[in-house]
Structure 1
Amino acid sequence: SLVLVILIIGAILFGVLIVADIVVRQAKVTQGFDLSEKAYMAAETGVEEAAYKVNKDFCRVDTTDCNASGALSLGGQYITTLSIDKKEPNTGQTTGLGEDITNSNPWEAALSTSSSLLLSLDLNSQNKIYPDSITISQNPSGLGELIFWECQTIGSPRTCNESFQTSTTYTTFPQTLNTAPSDSHYYKIRINNTASETVTYTLTPSSDHSLPVGAIIESTGTYQDYERKTKFTLPKWQIFGGE
């Protein structure tokens, strides 16, 4: 009976040790998860700050002006880098997806009935980043509407002077839009598909520059020994409406 008691006590102690080990491991995993999440939170904060610099502060996207770095009050640091996005997004095209939008690889956007494409050419820069012109065509030919906004910029950083803003509406295609003064103007292009069928609109930049469609923000967040990286595309285009 003494042997039996010893065996029972040993089994209980062994079980307690196993439970204790599991609890310790779980605590370490939970702590590691919390620290990793804090690093991720720092990285996300960096993305938000860089996006604000682009959209609200009009930082120059072809310089280091848009890069962000800092520390959170609860701990954690972040640092970001920014680049110009010139890649053709997924808008129903047949070729060129993910490649630079150039004169030889134009941007194709398939718009369903009553849908619209809006593209803003308002990234501030030190040097010229936009093409001198953009030609917009449609296939099949038919109904459609193109609205082209121009806004003269003022100040440093350059912002839109709404007192010098104009718009022109076109209902025939193709149309070539003059964007050569992009060092002193911002532009917006809106294409409305008013046809009763899906129409593919092609935006072809002149050969001098690729067509920027946004910015890419890469952010690294750290907390103690943990590091998290995130990549965010800040689009300057949108498709909305449609059936």
Structure 2
Amino acid sequence: MRHYLSQISKRQEGIALVLSVLVLSNLLMITFIVTDVILRIGKTSREIGESEAAYFAAETAIEQAVYKIEKERDGSEIGTAVPPDIGFLNDFKATWRRYLSPINTTPIICVDDNNVSYIYTTVADVSDPLKGGNKSCLYTATAGNITKGNPLKVKLRGTKSFEINFNVAVPASLNFYPPSIDIDWPNSTPGRVIVLSAAGQESVDTMTSPSILKVPSSGQFGATPNYRVRVLNNGFSDVTYDIGPHNSSPGNIMPVGIEIVGKGYFNNQKERIIVVDKKSWKIY
């Protein structure tokens, strides 16, 4: 009897030992899992913080560049793709690079009388009564850069006007502006083409009847032009004007906007990119 009870006791001790081992194993497993989760959360939180710092650096670069262009009309120190302008935030770990480039193409954009813009897919849409037929439009005959052979076409409804600016200084090494442009007013309808200084206080040139006006009439735009071109349709019928480079030499391309790229980094690893496009024209 005692022998039998002794065997039962030993079995119970064995079972208790096995249970203890299982409990300890589970506790260790839970500890490892919790530790791994904490490490992963910590790593993820750090990565989010680094990404936010990189994004903030890119955002800072863009905001400063936009201010320089919109308020001071000066992008000469913003940089080019090679080399870009480089800066940093206060902690030096977050850095940024920024540069600008010309926007030399345009989609088919039409603007209604309420200044609401529409984008269409084919040139035929410009004259479609259900699409661009009752709107002022901006487009090129073929997709691609705006050149002498593929000028910017501006269809203005009666009493509407168009303005395009060539008044932002750019890096001297950047091929941005053509030497000069032509404004071709082909129809015998009432109107005017006015060339102003950037401040709008000085009339540089005017055209009061259909013709071709070269801007500037002498000299070249260079990297620091100071011109605003305004086209007015004083009639009641649609008029389409052609605006493009004066000559067809390679590289003579007319911009219709500025693209600003800001890249933010944290420890030169986390990269965040912000791109802002600023158009140089308006229809009103």
Q: Distance in 2 between matches of 1:91 and 1:109?
A: 10
Length, aligned pairs only: 223
Secondary structure at 1:73 match in 2:
coil
Match status 1:104 vs 2:149:
yes
Show the 5 A alignment for 1:175-190.
175-180=211-216, 181=218, 182=221, 185-190=226-231
Equivalent pair of 1:122/1:187 in contact (CA under 8 Å): yes
Q: Decide which of 66, 69, 75 is 2:86's aligned counterpart.
A: 69
Q: Decide which of 212, 220, 224 is 2:263's aligned counterpart.
A: 220
Show the 5 A alignment for 1:199-218.
202-207=242-247, 209-218=252-261
Structure 1 unaligned blocks of 5 or more: 152-159
Q: Distance in 1 between matches of 2:157 and 2:35?
A: 61
Alignment partner, residue 148 of structure 1 = 194
Structure 2 unaligned blocks of 5 or more: 1-14, 80-84, 110-121, 124-140
Alignment partner, residue 41 of structure 1 = 56
Q: Distance in 1 between matches of 2:66 and 2:163?
A: 19
Tell me the CA shift for residue 165 of structure 1. 3.9
Structure with greater proportional strand content: 1
Tell me the CA shift for residue 168 of structure 1. 5.4
Q: 1:20 to 1:196 in 2, by over 3 A?
A: farther
Q: Decide which of 67, 70, 75 is 1:55's aligned counterpart.
A: 70
Secondary structure at 1:56 match in 2:
helix
Alignment partner, residue 164 of structure 1 = 202
Tell me the CA shift for residue 21 of structure 1. 0.5
Q: 1:190 to 1:32 in 2, by over 3 A?
A: farther
Structure with greater proportional helix content: 2
Q: 1:221 to 1:196 in 2, by over 3 A?
A: same
Q: Distance in 1 between matches of 2:234 and 2:45?
A: 52
Match status 1:17 vs 2:10:
no
Q: CA RMSD in A?
A: 3.9
Between the aligned residues of both structures, percent identity stands at: 22
Q: 1:51 to 1:116 in 2, by over 3 A?
A: same
Normalised TM-score (structure 2): 0.60
- Which letter maps to 1:204? G
Equivalent pair of 1:66/1:82 in contact (CA under 8 Å): yes
Q: Deviations over 1:187-224 (max 9, x none)?
A: 13356698688x86543332153212233333332222
Q: Distance in 2 between matches of 1:194 and 1:21?
A: 75
Higher-RCO chain (CA-CA 8 Å, sequence separation at least 6): 1
Q: 1:5 to 1:235 in 2, by over 3 A?
A: same
Q: Distance in 1 between matches of 2:90 and 2:32?
A: 39
Q: Distance in 1 between matches of 2:43 and 2:254?
A: 49
Normalised TM-score (structure 1): 0.68
Tell me the CA shift for residue 102 of structure 1. 0.3
- Which letter maps to 1:88? T
- Which letter maps to 2:227? Y
- Which letter maps to 2:27? I
Q: 1:5 to 1:135 in 2, by over 3 A?
A: same
Secondary structure at 1:59 match in 2:
coil
Equivalent pair of 1:51/1:234 in contact (CA under 8 Å): no
Q: Which protein has the larger Cα radius of gyration, Structure 1 or Structure 2?
A: 2
Secondary structure at 1:69 match in 2:
strand
Tell me the CA shift for residue 43 of structure 1. 1.9
Q: Decide which of 124, 129, 134 is 2:177's aligned counterpart.
A: 129
Q: 1:136 to 1:37 in 2, by over 3 A?
A: farther
